[in-house]
């Protein structure tokens, strides 16, 4: 396959995901499902962003395992290394150098206005500069592949805006080169946790792993919060306020949705039965993931091979971009002598 000619034919996508280890339903519906769907239409670069992850408080000893587990999950959901480039961010150190070059144009004021920064910085007595610069590295992740589009969750909209600003400022100063990438936000909106309140997250225990078996899925779904006004089994329910119903709309066969809605409103189907249907849908969706993950877990060399080949491919493009950016910024004394 000739990757160079492909670059001109298709638009380029980059996305990144933190190596949290276990992938849950929220990650899947909010991002990974999109990754799978975009593989043929775009030239895709998918990165496990370990250099971003080290800003968290997690034990460094666990990071390698979390990185590999994340790779296994990404491959398990159907991201196909034959059709995209999957790599670990730190394997392509060019990202970091480009981030430094961007630091020279990124305005501190804009970085200080990022909501994620404002939230997270509250947790520190002394704020690390990396927390402020986080979106600059993210901009480098994206622009080093001159990506046109970035599939991300709604919470990353602001970082994408900043990426475009950085591209614009850099281009204004050094000549038109970087595209201003668009955010592609899935229509699913914010995916609420099974508690019906907070965003899905593993640490809040309000989600379900995409590698859960039938029992594990039911264990989580069984406890999901539904319409609080439905107390007795035959009380009429309100699907529009029920998170179980929102999830049905995302994973249950579309032909079943009208019945689920009607029977809820009429009070003819109880919430437990309704949740059984949801659990079935999830088990069906997850089944191939579990099988592939099982295979990969017993063949770690395959995973390693995929990530190494991915890094090689990513580095080819990253080097080219970095060389151009350096040159336009005057970092080329060797050729000047």
As annotated, the active-site residues are: 120, 199, 202
3-state helix vs strand vs coil in the chain, percent to 5: 60, 10, 35
Nearer to ligand TRP, 25 or 217 (CB): 25
Half-sphere exposure of 268 (CA within 13 A, CB side): 6
Work out which of 13, 75, 136, 142 binds ligand TRP, going by CB under 6 A. Answer: 142
Q: Could you tell me whether strands 43-48 and 182-184 are parallel, antiparallel, or unpaired per DSSP bridges?
A: unpaired
Best CA proximity match to 54, nearest among 4, 89, 2? 89
Taking the complex as a whole, how short is the minimal distance between the CB of residue 151 and ligand TRP, in angstroms? 8
Burial of 118 (C-beta count, 10 Å sphere; 0-12/13-18/19+): exposed
Near ligand TRP by CB under 6 A: residue from 16, 30, 81, 237: 16
Task: Name 223's Cβ contacts closer than 8 Å, sequence gap at least 6.
Answer: 194
In angstroms, what is the minimal distance from the CB of 269 to ligand SF4?
6
Residue 37-56 contact track with ligand TRP, rule CB under 6 A, x = bound:
------------x--x----
Q: Which stretch binds ligand SF4 (CB under 6 A): 140-148, 239-247, 288-296, 325-333?
A: 239-247
Residue from the set 43, 69, 94, 141 that interacts with ligand TRP by CB under 6 A: 141
264 is an interface residue for ligand SF4 by CB under 6 A: yes
- Closer residue to ligand SF4 (CB): 262 or 312: 262
The sign of the CA dihedral 244, 250, 253, 259 is positive
Between CA 11 and CA 147 the distance in angstroms is: 7
From 14, 242, 279, 296, residue interacting with ligand SF4 (rule: CB under 6 A): 242
Please name which of 281, 293, 299, 204 lies closest in space to residue 245, comparing C-alpha atoms: 281
Show contacts with ligand TRP in window 153-192 (CB under 6 A): 156
Stretch that binds ligand SF4, among 14-22, 130-138, 204-212, 224-232 (CB under 6 A): 224-232
State how far the Cα of 332 lies from the Cα of 337, in Å rounded to an integer.
9
Residues lying near ligand SF4 in the complex (CB under 6 A) are found at 226-227, 230, 237, 239, 242, 244-245, 264, 269, 271, 274-275
Residues lying near ligand TRP in the complex (CB under 6 A) are found at 14-16, 18, 49, 52, 138, 141-142, 150, 152, 156
């Amino acid at each position: 396959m000739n990757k160079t000619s492909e670059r001109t034919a298709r638009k380029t996508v980059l996305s990144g995901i933190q190596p949290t280890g276990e992938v849950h339903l929220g990650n899947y519906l909010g991002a990974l499902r999109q990754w799978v769907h975009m593989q043929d239409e775009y030239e895709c670069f998918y990165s496990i962003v370990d250099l971003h992850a080290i800003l968290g408080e997690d034990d460094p000893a666990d990071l390698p395992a979390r990185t590999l587990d994340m790779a296994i999950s990404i491959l398990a959901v159907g991201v196909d290394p034959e059709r995209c480039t999957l790599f670990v961010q730190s394997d392509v150190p060019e990202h970091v150098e480009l981030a430094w070059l961007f630091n020279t144009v990124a305005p501190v004021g804009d970085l200080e206005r990022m909501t994620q920064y404002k939230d997270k910085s509250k947790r520190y007595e002394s704020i690390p500069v990396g927390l402020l610069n986080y979106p600059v590295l993210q901009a480098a992740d994206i622009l080093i592949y001159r990506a046109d589009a970035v599939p991300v969750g709604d919470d990353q909209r602001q970082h994408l805006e900043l990426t475009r600003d950085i591209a614009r400022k850099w281009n204004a100063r050094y000549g038109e080169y970087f595209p201003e990438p668009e955010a592609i936000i899935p229509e699913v909106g914010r995916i609420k946790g099974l508690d019906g309140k907070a965003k899905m997250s593993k640490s809040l225990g309000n989600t379900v792993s995409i590698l859960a078996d039938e029992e594990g899925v039911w264990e989580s779904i069984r406890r999901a919060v539904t319409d609080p006004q439905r107390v007795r089994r035959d009380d009429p329910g309100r699907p529009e306020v029920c998170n179980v119903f929102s999830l049905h709309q995302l994973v249950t066969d579309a032909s079943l949705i009208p019945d689920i809605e009607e029977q809820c409103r009429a009070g003819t189907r109880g919430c437990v039965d309704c949740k059984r249907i949801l659990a079935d849908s999830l088990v069906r969706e997850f089944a191939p993931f579990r099988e592939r993950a099982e295979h990969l877990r017993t063949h770690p060399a395959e995973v390693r091979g995929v990530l190494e080949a991915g890094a090689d491919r990513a580095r080819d493009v990253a080097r080219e971009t970095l060389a151009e950016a350096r040159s336009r910024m005057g970092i080329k004394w060797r050729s000047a002598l």
